[in-house]
Structures are given as C-alpha cells and as structure tokens.
C-alpha cells in the first residue's frame, strides 16, 4: 500500500517461524476493558508527528485526535496511553489537565460535553516504548510492533477504526514506509528527513505503524498490484525469491473471501528481530525467517498467514480481544488452505495434524477453553494456542462437517458482509447458520461458547 519512492516499503516484521501461525503472539494483547468501553468515544482520525531518537530508544511526539462523542460526558475522556508522559494537552485549543491511570490517560474536561459533539484533543508527549516501537541495538533500523499505544495515545480496542496522517522525522540516510500511502518525503536543514503517510481507510490502531532503516529493496508489478520488499541483509533477487508467492497468495485469499484486496500495493520487510506482524497493506518478518524461506521454499506459511490478515484481522476485525480467534484462528486456517492450494493436500493435512495434537495437549492438561473468551487479560501460551491452533482446527472441522461448497459460501458471506467492520462470534455463527443445516448448530456453538 505504500508508494515505493526512495525504497519506501513498510511496517512490522516477522519471525523465523515457518509454520502457518506464530506460536507466541504479542503479550501486549492484554486488556479486555479498553478505553472506549469505559468512555464511549468514536475516534475518527489521528494526526501524528513523531521524532524517534535512535541513540536513546525514545520518542517525542505530537498528536491531534479527532473524535465524536457517542454519549454525554461529564468530566473526562479516557484514552489508551502506555508509558507515555504528557507534556501538554489542549481540547479544541483550550489547555486541559491529564491524569495517568495505569495504561490509560484521563483527559479532564473543563465542562460537560454532549453526545454527537466533535472534539479535537492535542497531546504533546515523550516516552521510551517497551515493545511497541523497536530500536535494534545496531541503530540501523526501527519499526513498530502491535502496541501502538506505546508510541502514540489513542484507542487500542481492535473494534475501533480510524484514519491517520503520520509524519516521522528520521536520519537522512534512512528509507521508510508505513501502513498508509506516501504523501511526501522532504529533506530538513538538520540533515534529517521527514516522511508523511496518509491512511484514508479506517483501520484498527494495532495495524498502524512504520518501518525505517538502511534497506535494499525489490519492486515488481503483477498487472493488478505493486509489490515491495525490503531487507538489510538480502539483495533484490533474494527478496524476489522469498516473496515470490505473494501475488498468488493475495489472489487466492481474494477468491476465498469474495472481496478484493483493498489497496494498490502490498509491501513486506525483513528486519533484524521480530515476531510476525501484520499491518494494513504491510507485513514484517525477521531476516532469519527470510533466509529460511530461501533454503526451504515451502516454508511460506508465515508469509501466507500475514497475507490472510489483510482480510481476516485487518478488515474483518474482532470487536474485542475476547473474540481474537476471529483474527488469528482464521489467519492460521486460511494460511494452511493456501499451502493446500500451492503444494497439495498433504501440506494442509500436516498443519491440521499439528493443530490436533496441540488441542489434545490442552485437553489433557485441563487448559482447554471455548474460542470466545470471557476475559482476555495477560493470556498464557495455552490461551494463545486456543485462539490460534484450536481456532484453526475448529474451522477445519467445520469445513469437514459442511462440505466444500457450503463452507466456502459461508466464509465468503461472512467476509463480504463485514468487510471493513468489527465483528464478534455471533456474526460468524449467523453467517454459517445461513448456509449450514440446523443439525450443525450444536457443534458450532459448543466450540465457540462451550457446552450449554
């Protein structure tokens, strides 16, 4: 999705895992009580300017949040802000007070405000991100990972969607890209440069982000989309080999979804260290994973997983983390079906067997849970296995129960109806009930909600 001027590609990068699903998704997915469930606001747009300091691994920034109130508010608004110190705050141009409240920020109101009002909150801040903005030790790269609220205040709940303008000041010899289209890049008198990206399609905060560094790059066009690939350790031809299946992946998922890929470009980058991370129009992996794909070309499951998220996760997004399986179980399952498409049935069944064994381990250890979590706070490795492996295994079983025609009609119905919106498990159940005989309802409900 990023214009590839000045070898600008994009965001957040993956691990050396070749499996269809990352085994250890970020522990940062921790709160099932996000800001806008406490203080109902609709965040419409972020206007961000960020200045990272690579030497100290810190950031200084300014953001203007445009929001609409969805309820009357008496005294304060609540935002997600993890470890950021607020230097100044203004509401519609008037100075206001802020109070830190754990990983949230209270913005105090000078007077009560009414439902439907549009407000602009300007915050100037600084901080040292623990996880959400990575500064590798060699200081030749930086990139965001999942926890956007660690580098800009906002709303972290996955069901909240907003557009953005993002300006980042970087060293003059860095290339950069983000989960938006490049508007401009300008040299500054200081020898640095400022990049400006814009995202007009509302997206969840955790798929906002950028990557920057000294990269080699490769670009190609497949008659419908531009593809960009970046790495500091691999050259152009190697990058083309690592991501050779990307065009086929996006075409395959578009057919299964019944909805086209929503951007003009798809960018992927390899960075020094990271887990797999999807962003809007972007995906990130580690250099070690890229080298593994060069050695074992069938180890593209993780690339397929992040590509699947461009539909299931980024566009059809769980409303809250309690239904995180709708993001990760789907991406894990869909990546395996791509391996089936690309390499044959046995490649798919190997993934299924791995899921089955992990689910059996959960049951034997007494750690099994329904896919819909009553609470998703500080999830364990077993909780993540429920979301990823059990979620994928349930979709495989449902495919076997319903048969190819009904199952894929249900997937397309669900995806097309909810594309660009937030969903919960009930939305998935409704789509499947529309194509499935009534006798399957018990199986579906038991897996998602538990025995009744």
Residue from 306, 315, 348, 393 carrying the catalytic annotation: 306
User: Where do the DSSP E strands lie in 38-173?
Assistant: 41-53, 58-69, 76-80, 84-91, 94-95, 98-101, 104-108, 118-127, 133-134, 141-144, 161-171
Tell whether residue 328 is among the known ligand binding residues. yes
Catalytic-residue membership of 7: no
Residue 228's H or E segment, with its range, is: strand 226-231
Could you give the CA distance from residue 44 to residue 439 in angstroms, rounded to a whole number? 42
* Structural contact between residues 156 and 102, judged by C-beta atoms closer than 8 angstroms: no
* Structural contact between residues 72 and 113, judged by C-beta atoms closer than 8 angstroms: yes
Tokens at residue 290, please? 């890229």
**Residue 299 φ/ψ, nearest 5 degrees:** -85, 45
Residue from 7, 388, 393, 414 carrying the catalytic annotation: 388
Catalytic-residue membership of 449: no
Tell whether residue 396 is among the known ligand binding residues. no
What are the C-alpha distances in Å from 7 to residues 109, 145, 228, 271? 44, 21, 8, 15
Tell whether residue 305 is among the known ligand binding residues. yes
Could you give the CA distance from residue 174 to residue 164 in angstroms, rounded to a whole number? 22
HSE at residue 441, side-chain half, CA atoms within 13 A, is: 9
Binding residue ranges? 305, 309, 328
- Residues with catalytic function: 306, 388
Binding residue ranges for Zn(2+)? 305, 309, 328
């Amino acid at each position: 999705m990023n214009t590839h001027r000045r070898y600008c590609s994009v965001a957040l990068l993956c691990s050396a895992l070749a499996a269809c699903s990352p085994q250890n998704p970020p522990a940062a997915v921790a709160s099932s009580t996000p800001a806008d469930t406490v203080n109902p606001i609709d965040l419409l747009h972020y206007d961000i300017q960020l200045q990272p300091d690579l030497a100290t691994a810190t950031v200084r920034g300014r953001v203007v949040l445009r929001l609409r109130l969805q309820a009357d508010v008496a005294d304060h608004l609540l935002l997600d802000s993890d470890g950021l110190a607020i230097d100044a705050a203004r509401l519609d141009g008037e100075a206001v007070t802020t109070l830190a409240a754990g990983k949230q920020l209270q913005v105090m109101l000078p007077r009560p405000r009414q439902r439907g009002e549009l407000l602009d909150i300007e915050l100037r801040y600084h901080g040292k991100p623990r996880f959400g903005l990575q500064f590798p030790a060699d200081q030749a790269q930086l990139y965001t990972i999942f926890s956007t609220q660690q580098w800009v205040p906002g709303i972290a709940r996955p069901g909240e969607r907003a557009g953005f303008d993002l300006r980042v000041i970087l060293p003059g010899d860095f290339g950069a890209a983000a989960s938006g289209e490049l508007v401009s890049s300008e040299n500054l008198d200081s020898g640095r440069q400022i990049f400006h990206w814009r995202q007009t399609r509302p997206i969840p905060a955790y798929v906002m982000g950028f990557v920057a560094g000294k990269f080699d790059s490769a670009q190609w066009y497949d008659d419908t989309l531009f593809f960009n690939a970046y790495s500091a350790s691999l050259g152009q031809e190697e990058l083309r080999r690592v991501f050779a299946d990307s065009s086929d992946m996006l075409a395959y998922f578009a057919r299964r979804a019944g909805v086209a890929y929503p951007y003009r470009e798809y960018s992927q980058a390899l960075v020094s260290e990271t887990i797999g991370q999807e962003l809007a129009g972007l995906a990130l992996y580690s250099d070690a994973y890229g080298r593994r794909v060069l050695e074992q070309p069938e180890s593209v499951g993780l690339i397929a997983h992040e590509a699947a998220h461009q539909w299931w996760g980024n566009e059809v997004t769980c409303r809250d983390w309690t239904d995180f399986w709708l993001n990760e179980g789907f991406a894990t399952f869909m990546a395996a079906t791509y391996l089936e498409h690309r390499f044959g049935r046995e490649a798919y069944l190997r993934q299924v067997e791995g899921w089955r064994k992990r689910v059996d381990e959960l049951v034997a250890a007494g750690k099994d849970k329904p896919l819909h979590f009553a609470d998703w706070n500080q999830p364990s490795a077993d909780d993540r296995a429920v979301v990823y492996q059990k979620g994928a295994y349930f979709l495989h079983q449902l495919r076997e129960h319903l048969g190819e025609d009904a199952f894929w009609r249900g997937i397309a119905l669900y995806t097309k109806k909810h594309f660009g919106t937030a969903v919960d498990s009930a939305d998935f159940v409704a789509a499947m009930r529309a194509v499935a005989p009534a006798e399957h309802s018990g199986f579906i409900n038991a897996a998602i909600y538990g025995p009744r």
